[in-house]
Amino acid sequence: MRVIVPFGVSLILAAPALAFEAELEVEIPQLSVAEYHRPYLAAWIERPDRSVVTTLALWYDLDNPKGEGDKWLKDIRQWWRRVGRDVEVPIDGVTSATRAPGTHAIGIDLTEPPLARLPEGDYTLVVEAAREVGGRELLKIPFAWPIASPQTLKAEGKNELGDVVLELKP
């Protein structure tokens, strides 16, 4: 059965959820190294006291044939400290396989809690990447919530990350 909702009603119902949009793009740089492994990566949103609102993405070797994918999660050090060591992986809708060099979009769902009810305040988007036999890099993008006008916020990585871009639209 199909329920037909009058156009006007659906607009009103959806309005609070559609009020904001957020997009995150993360660039994994192409590296010229003898032994390359795709980086483990975590992206999350922090409050001013460094506590974590939510993990947006966790890329790791979750299908490791020896079941050793979670052995190196601790190398995403800050994420491990703030979130990882207290949760079970994989996390539904958050964890996925590692990605090849290139630019990748990470979906941010503002219609689901806790982001749908994010209280007004100052927050930081954090992206941390750690590569086996390689380096580690952590980038931060501070932002104030809610936003009044469209914003494109950017952080540039030096080693393990390329450009990280957070687009916020009211």
Partner 1 sequence: MTVIRLATALFLVLLPATAQAHRAWLLPSATVLSGDEAWITVDAAISNELFYFEHHPLLLEGLSIVGPKGTEIAPQNESTGKYRSTFDIELKEPGTYKLAVAGDGLFASYEVNGERKRWRGKPENLSKEIPDGAEKLTVTQSQRRLETYATLGAPSKEALETTGKGLELAPITHPNDLFAGEEAQFKLLVDGEPAPNVEVSIIRGGNRYRDTLGEIKVTTGEDGSFAVTWPEPGMYWLEASATDGKTTIDKATERRLGYVATLEVLPE
Footprint of partner 1 (CB under 8 A)? 67-68, 70-74, 77-78, 80-81, 84-86
Instruction: Compare residues 20 and 80 and give the one whose CB is closer to partner 1.
Output: 80
Amino acid letter at 165? V
Residue 107 sits at φ, ψ, to 5 deg, of -70, 140
Q: How many CB atoms lie within 10 A of CB 80?
A: 18
Cβ of residue 101: shortest distance to partner 1, in angstroms?
A: 24
Instruction: Compare residues 84 and 162 and give the one whose CB is closer to partner 1.
Output: 84
Cβ of residue 67: shortest distance to partner 1, in angstroms?
A: 8
Kindly state the DSSP code that residue 65 receives in the 8-state scheme: T
Instruction: Compare residues 77 and 104 and give the one whose CB is closer to partner 1.
Output: 77
Residue 17 sits at φ, ψ, to 5 deg, of -70, -35
Q: How many CB atoms lie within 10 A of CB 152?
A: 10
Instruction: Compare residues 71 and 169 and give the one whose CB is closer to partner 1.
Output: 71
Instruction: Compare residues 35 and 88 and give the one whose CB is closer to partner 1.
Output: 88
Distance CA 143, CA 159 (A): 24
Cβ of residue 160: shortest distance to partner 1, in angstroms?
A: 14
Distance CA 27, CA 42 (A): 13
As a residue count, the chain comes to: 170
Would residue 66 be called left, alpha or beta, if left means φ above 0 and alpha means ψ between -120 and 50 degrees? alpha
Cβ of residue 98: shortest distance to partner 1, in angstroms?
A: 16
Cβ of residue 146: shortest distance to partner 1, in angstroms?
A: 29
